[in-house]
Every structure is written in structure tokens, then in C-alpha cells.
Structure 1
Amino acid sequence: MSRSRSRASTSMIFVASVLVGSICAISSVEANDRARLPLIFAAGDGDAEGVLAALDANANACRDEVTEYGETALHTAAIKANAEVVKILIEVCELEAKTSGGQYLAQTSLLWMAYGGSDEHLRGVEALLEAGADANAKNSAGDTAWDVVAKMPEGQYRERALRAIEVHGGRSGKVNAEL
């Protein structure tokens, strides 16, 4: 084998070992996070049984488990648009808790759920509003759920979600917005 092939092989082996090491480190971090935040991961996975088990193990899990971005299990379920899990968590989580933002907007679970456009998003929006979520809460950009939905393409989701938000007193957070 020539020296250049030997160096290339050594380089490829080094790169492969770095990648495998990185994958193992990521897996280890996720395993640690899953053990530390079982409710948040169950909510993000859409695992209703896991959510109930985590709440049985720690009745204060919604308050105790918060990610580095301020996300609660309710935020995670809303971000993943899982209305079934949102309905479970509504009973035990703070509806008006806001994420801290970071690279995303600081906002409530209702605002996270309003993004999307699917029937699942609509069911979650309706459930949060029925539970008393503030329809006029603003994200760090000054948008309410109404503003978020109004930016969606015209269609059934947009019409139904705007109507549900308006029924609960929601309106634009923009000063000169037309309703």
C-alpha cells in the first residue's frame, strides 16, 4: 500500500471514529435528558400513556421539568401538535407559561399550537382556549394566536382557528391591525 493510500485510510478511520464517538455522545446526552425529563420527552413523543405514568411518578412534573429554553411538557406537546397529550396536560400544567425564546420566539403553548394548519393543531387550539388559555397572550414578536393564524394560507384551518380564537375574545396584537 502506498503512503498516500495509507494516509487516506488513516484519515477515513479517524473521521469514522469521530462520527461514531459523536453519535454515542449524542445518544448518551439524549438518554440522560430522557431520564431527567421523562414527562417532556413523553409529551414530545405523543405518548399519552408515558405522560400519565410520568405524572403518576411526579405530580409536580409540569412545574419541575423545564428545558433550558423554558419549555414545559405542555409546550412540547403543542410544538409537536399532539392534541390528545395537550388535553391531558391542560389539567396539570400552567397554561400561560412562556418559553424563554432562545433562537425561537418566547411564547405560550397556545401560540405554539396555533402554528401549523392541521386538524390536530385546531383541536389543540380549541382545547387550550376552552381550558382558559389567554387568547390575547403575545409572543416576543408581539403576535397573538390570532396574528399567527391570520398569516396562514387561506383555507379551512385558518377560518376555523380564527373563529375559535375570536369566540374566546382573541384579536390581533398589532396596534393598527384590521379585524
Structure 2
Amino acid sequence: MKLAHLAPLLGLCILVLSWTCGCTSAPAGGGGIQDITTEPAEMRIGLEEALRELEVLDGEGLEDLTGMEIVTVSGSGVDSTGNATTWTLGVRQAGNTSLMVHSQGGWSRYVWHGPLPENPVDLDAVVMPVDLYPGHAAEIGSLGEVTELVLIDGTYTVRSEEKQTESLSFDAHTGEALP
């Protein structure tokens, strides 16, 4: 077979192959490269689970909790189950103050030079957010789907993320609503 005879045959093969592979037509939704990346889901975690992770770090020698006094707890992006995207602990330890932040699945420590409350928080004696939120679902739900939570001096303050002026207060030891 001569080379001149192969050229049309080769062209026909390429045309048939292109047509069967769908390379000559665009999909119904448009052609070209399409972005298939997705936004990562916001990971929420309960305060108790975040604290267990901190204890694991202490046990592994990656964080020293000896003498650490928690004086404030705050949660950002708290949903109706009491789980948050970020937990922040204001802590005092060995004469220094710092913020312990749990976000994106891990703990980080930041030096803090600002004031912190005087009284420590006894986390064994307070109602955990995972119990507080479902127990006051209607009240807290009126603030919006996602809220901010702060625990200082035995009082939880739940604030709307959308309307920062709206908030509710609860006794952290009993879970009862405060006026």
C-alpha cells in the first residue's frame, strides 16, 4: 500500500475516533474545562470532644496542661446542637495568660497580653453547650441558625451572629435562663 493511500484512511480513523469519543461536541451544560472543586464543609465539634483532644495532646507531651486554669470559654459558629467551628479558652498558667484555640481539627496556643476574667471556670460543674442548646432550642433558635457563645463567671451568654445586639444569658451551673 502506498503512502498516498494511507493519508485518507488515517484521516478517516481520526475522524471516527474523535466522533466516538465525543471530542467534537460539547456537553449539554457547556463545553470546556469545568471546575469541580467544592468548598470544604465547616467542621463543628462539641466542647467536650475538643477538651478530650487537648488532654490527648497533654498525654503525648505536645501540650503541657499542668497548673492551667481556664477562666473563659467561647465558641464561634455554634449550631443548634451546641457544636462550634471554633472553641477558644482563655487560660492562665505559670503566671502567663494565653488563648487556646481549637479550629479546623486542631489546637493552637497564642500568647495573650490583654485582661482575662479573675475567676476560673470549673468545666466539671457547668452544663455543656451540647446540653444547653437543645434544652433551650426555641429561645436560642430565635437568635438564628448559628450563634456565638461565651462562658465567664458562671454565666453563658449566647449572641446572635447575625444581629450582634441580641443575646440571651443562662446560668452555667443549672442551665436556667437568666433575666
Whether the TM-score (by the shorter chain) exceeds 0.5 is no
Structure having the higher strand fraction is: 2
TM-score in terms of structure 1 length: 0.23
TM-score in terms of structure 2 length: 0.23
